[in-house]
Amino acid sequence: MQGLVTVFGGSGFVGSQVVRQLAKAGHRVRVAVRQPNLAYRMRMLGDVGQIEVVQANVRNLASVDRALEGAEACVNLVGLLYESGRQKFQAVHVMGAQTLAERAKAAGVSRFVQISAIGADAKSEAKYARTKAEGEAAVRAVFPGAVIIRPSVVFGPEDNFFNKFGQMAAISPALPLVGGETRFQPVFVGDVAAVIARAASHPEAEGLTYELGGPGIFTMRQILQLILTETGRDRALVALPRPVARLLGQVGDLMAGLLPIAPPITSDQVEMLKSDNVADHGLPGLAEAGIVPTSIEAIVPSYLYRYRKGGQYAPTPAGAF
């Protein structure tokens, strides 16, 4: 069995697939999470004793050090989609990443993989994109050879993108359209996980920044229309003027601060929808990592069916994938 890889934030949507890929490649895996009682299923993704779940919080240095003890590589998947309570972008994306890099370096870890996002830009008006870029810089200052992974919108059975709009289509008479012509390059979670697992163990990835996008590029309008077609829903797409979208984002900000549920959209996300979310062809991507990209047509129908009338028993709508 290969060396130990510690995965911070390994119980989430992407993290669970990364743990599975690392275990499949023969690594011992330590999954470091804030609430290990909610991550008990992680141990089932590998052989007996191959996967360990431990408690760790990037604000608690002792817990971070325990999680990194004996590790050869560290993967940082800790991140936020929106701010709430004490969970702020600056604290998690920048200070948290810096802490993990510094403690990993002190523990003798030889490889560090930082998960960022396409659109990471230190000059961005969006806090999410700006702090992702600052987190990358903080990690590289400590680990010049760190591997940076920037995926586009990640899709898969448990995603928070196609599922979110599929659910909205099932209950709402119309779907709000913000940034209708903004382009996305959705990438399959299994493909992203395969690149991360490879980066954690292959020396040739050292120092590289990957931008990961799938085989198709779609506007937001096209994505919503695909969801409506696949779910068999006839819903209007209502384009929202920027002032209205910003107002909805501000309402989402308030929801995030007061309620324990994900807001439909935040002001930061409205800002991000001004820019395309497409991989830079000047940087290595799935092809350079030896991965054949998986299309949304091959995967999305396997879980969007749940939002049709009749669910799994409903006939496939005309024109669906």
Rg (CA), the chain: 20
3-state secondary structure of 28: strand
Interior CA angle at 126 toward 121 and 127, to 5°?
A: 90
Find the angle CA(283)-CA(285)-CA(286) to the nearest 5 degrees.
170
Residue 259 clears pLDDT 90, i.e. is over it: no
Over range 45-60, report the average pLDDT. 94
Average of per-residue pLDDT values in the chain: 94
Q: What is the pLDDT of residues 210-223, one digit of tens each?
A: 999 999 999 999 99
Q: How far apart are CA 147 and CA 140, in angstroms?
A: 9
Domains annotated on the chain, with CATH = 2-153+187-212 (3.40.50.720)
Helices (H), the chain: 13-24, 61-68, 89, 97-106, 127-142, 162-171, 189-199, 220-231, 242-258, 267-272, 296-299, 301-304
pLDDT in tens, 160-171: 999 999 999 999
Rounded Cα gap, residues 33 and 317, in angstroms: 41
What pLDDT, on a 0 to 100 scale, did the predictor assign at position 143? 96
Q: With 70 as the cut, is the pLDDT of residue 119 above it?
A: yes
Residue 313 has pLDDT above 80, yes or no: no
Distance of CA 98 to the CA centre of its chain: 19
